[in-house]
Amino acid sequence: MKAAIYYKTKKLAVNTLIHLFLISVAITCLYPLLWMIVSSLKTQDMIFKDISLIPHQFRLENYIKAWQEGGFGRNFLNSILYTSSVVFGIVIISSMAAYAFSRLRFPGSKWLFIMFMAAMMIPIPGSFVALYVLLNKLHLRNTPIGYILCMINVGLSTSIFLLKTFFDKMPKELEDAARIDGCSKLGIWWHVALPLAKPVLAVVVVFNALTVWNEYILALIIFDNRQFMPLQVALQTFQGEFVTNYPLLMAGLTITALPIIIVYLLMQKYIVKGVTQGAVVG
């Protein structure tokens, strides 16, 4: 009897500690988010005067103002277009390449893969100017296609790396079965490899979506037309040269953060449901 109570209390104690740990970390995560939201509801002169988290002002019109002044309508759609095209492109292109590097044999595969890996590790600062001149020569400057192709390249190496690591560990039985059934290589990739790779693909989607959604400097340099600009560029108009309109900026940032959180919410169940076939297990 005593032993049972002892173990029960021990388990309760351990669980409480675990919960305390999780909650304290969660609080630190929530604080800046709350600060951002609460600030977006204030007026400019109250932003730094009033430090409590409890909002005394509820200027929801800040959101409407931010939307209108920032020209969010068009830019929002642009961002969605760019992000979805880039993510879609990367998922297809990198999974095909990763599958090939992992499962198919052809001369030069090892060296090509190393090249992609090296690209992941060598950032090119100042590449904006190079890309600008390049796109100019290809007559793709100031076009959405040019921007999308550049952004696909940005996420390509890491995505290929992540996917190849996964494909390497994937058990071969399912593929062999499909091949015996007469499936083409492309078919195996589409019907067998991709569904198994759902968790990693979800990570790739979230990672690239975040990258493209938050990108602004390449867009600012490549596009000359306001109508092509993504959301982040529009957001910068609140960060004036001298005056930063903090409430509107915070409202804009909150609006900007929402779609990505939604994407994450949609994808995270794939990541964690996991696959029983040793996804990342050695």
Ranges within 76-115 binding other proteins (CB under 8 A): 77-78, 80-81, 84-85, 88, 92-94, 96-97, 99-101, 104-107, 109, 112, 115
Angstrom distance (rounded) from CA 84 to CA 148: 10
Q: Interface mask (CB under 8 A) for other proteins, residues 141-160, using x and -?
A: xxxxx---xx-xx--xxx-x
Binding string, residues 249-268; x marks residues near other proteins by CB under 8 A: -x--x--xx--xx--xx--x
Any residues with CB less than 8 A from the CB of 262 and at least 6 apart, and which? none
Q: Which residue in this structure is represented by tokens 């730094």?
A: 48
Query: Using the 8-state DSSP alphabet, how is residue 108 labeled?
Result: T
CB of 243 to other proteins, least distance (A): 5
What is the per-residue binding string for other proteins in 170-189, x denoting contact by CB under 8 A? ---------------x---x
Q: Which span sits near other proteins by CB under 8 A: 1-9, 59-67, 133-141, 173-181?
A: 133-141
Residues in contact with other proteins, counted by CB under 8 A, come to a total of 125
Non-local CB neighbours of 221 within 8 Å, separated by 6+ positions: 128, 129, 132
Q: At closest approach, how far in Å is the CB of 270 from other proteins?
A: 9
Provide, rounded to whole angstroms, the least separation between the CB of residue 210 and other proteins. 7
CA–CA distance, 73 with 116 (Å, rounded to integer):
37
Map the footprint of other proteins across residues 200-259, applying CB under 8 A.
Answer: 203, 206, 210, 214, 216-217, 220-221, 224-228, 236-245, 250, 253, 256-257
Residue 37 as a binder of other proteins (CB under 8 A): the answer is: no
Q: Which residues contact 250 (CB under 8 A, 6 or more apart)?
A: 36, 37, 39, 40, 62
In whole angstroms, the minimum distance from the beta carbon of 70 to other proteins comes to 11
Amino acid identity of residue 83, one-letter, is: T
Half-sphere exposure of 118 (CA within 13 A, CB side): 6
State the minimum distance, in angstroms, from the CB of residue 157 to other proteins: 8
User: Do 147 and 222 contact (CB within 8 A), yes or no?
Assistant: yes
Cβ contacts of 174 within 8 Å, gap of 6 or more: 192, 196, 277
Q: Interface with other proteins includes 15 (CB under 8 A)?
A: yes
Main-chain dihedrals φ then ψ at residue 139, nearest 5 degrees: 60, 30
Stretch that binds other proteins, among 1-9, 57-65, 175-183, 270-278 (CB under 8 A): 270-278
Among 1, 123, 173, 182, binds other proteins (CB under 8 A): 123
Restricting to residues 41-80, which ones interact with other proteins according to CB under 8 A? 44-45, 47-49, 51, 77-78, 80
Helix (H) or strand (E) holding 250: helix 246-273
Report the C-alpha gap between 183 and 177 in whole angstroms.
9
**Centroid of chain to Cα 106:** 32
Residue entry with tokens 């900026």? 249
* Least distance in angstroms from the C-beta of 185 to other proteins: 6
Minimum distance of other proteins from residue 207's CB (angstroms)? 8
Give the one residue of 9, 21, 171, 187 binding other proteins; rule: CB under 8 A.
21
